[in-house]
């Protein structure tokens, strides 16, 4: 009985001490990962529901390309030998990484750097937390300071991002560019 009580006390103490990182901390980690790893780092900070939502938004573009007998987008995003069935079966995180290949292909001449990141504040909304950050981004010779809002939801013992407006906009722009 004493051993069980000791074990229970230890577990409760451990659980109380295991606090999850704040949304602000995760936002800082996200920007640091972008700096170090590039656009593919986005995937590890997105909530699984956001990854699924993104795949659902973009998958019809591949479906239309398949109906038209084309493979251009597929070739840039994954490779031309991948079948539509294989694309459909990709896990949402793998799908998103493939999409990042497209983004990287279109921006390969641009060298991005996050020169300064300042977390300005957090706005709670239900279980969500919206982190407002002032970031200075360098792109080749250009430097731009802007505000970025990242929306986070709890996930396991940390926070993960919802889809950003930029990613939603990329999907919409791609659909328009391909005439859908």
How much is the pLDDT for 14? 41
Nearest to 112 by CA among 16, 26, 37, 5: 37
How much is the pLDDT for 9? 39
In tens digits, what is the pLDDT along the chain, a chain of 180 residues? 444 333 333 334 344 334 579 999 999 999 899 888 877 888 999 999 999 999 999 999 899 889 988 877 888 888 878 899 999 999 999 999 888 877 776 656 556 677 788 999 999 999 999 999 998 888 777 888 999 999 999 999 999 999 988 888 877 887 777 665
* Contacts of 76 by beta carbon, 8 Å cutoff, 6+ apart: 101, 102, 105
pTM score, whole prediction: 0.79
Alpha carbon separation from 175 to 83, 111, 121, 169, 172 (Å, rounded): 20, 26, 34, 10, 5
Listing DSSP states for the chain in one string gives: -HHHHHHHHHHHHHHHH-PPPPHHHHHHHHHHHHHHH-GGGGGGGB-HHHHHHHHHHHHHHHHHHHHTT--HHHHHHS-TT--HHHHHHS-HHHHHHHHHHHHHHHSTT--EEEEEEEEEEEEEETTEEEEEEEEEEEETTEEEEEEEEEEEEEETTEEEEPPPHHHHHHHHHHHHHTT-
Structural domains of the chain in order of their starting residue, each with its CATH number:
21-177 (3.10.450.50)
């Amino acid at each position: 009985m004493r051993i069980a009580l000791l074990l229970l006390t230890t577990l409760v103490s451990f659980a109380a001490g295991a606090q999850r990182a704040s949304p602000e901390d995760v936002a800082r980690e996200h920007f640091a990962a972008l700096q170090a790893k590039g656009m593919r780092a986005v995937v590890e900070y997105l909530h699984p529901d956001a990854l699924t939502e993104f795949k659902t938004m973009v998958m019809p573009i591949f479906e239309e390309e398949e109906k038209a007998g084309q493979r251009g987008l597929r070739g840039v995003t994954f490779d031309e030998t991948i079948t539509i069935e294989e694309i459909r079966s990709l896990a949402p995180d793998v799908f998103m990484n493939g999409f990042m290949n497209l983004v990287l292909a279109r921006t390969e001449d641009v060298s991005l750097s996050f020169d300064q990141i300042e977390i300005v504040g957090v706005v709670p909304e239900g279980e969500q937390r919206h982190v407002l950050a002032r970031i200075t981004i360098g792109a080749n010779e250009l430097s731009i300071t802007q505000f970025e809002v990242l929306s986070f939801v709890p996930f396991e013992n940390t926070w993960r991002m919802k889809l950003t407006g930029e990613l939603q906009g990329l999907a919409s722009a791609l659909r328009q560019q391909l005439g859908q």
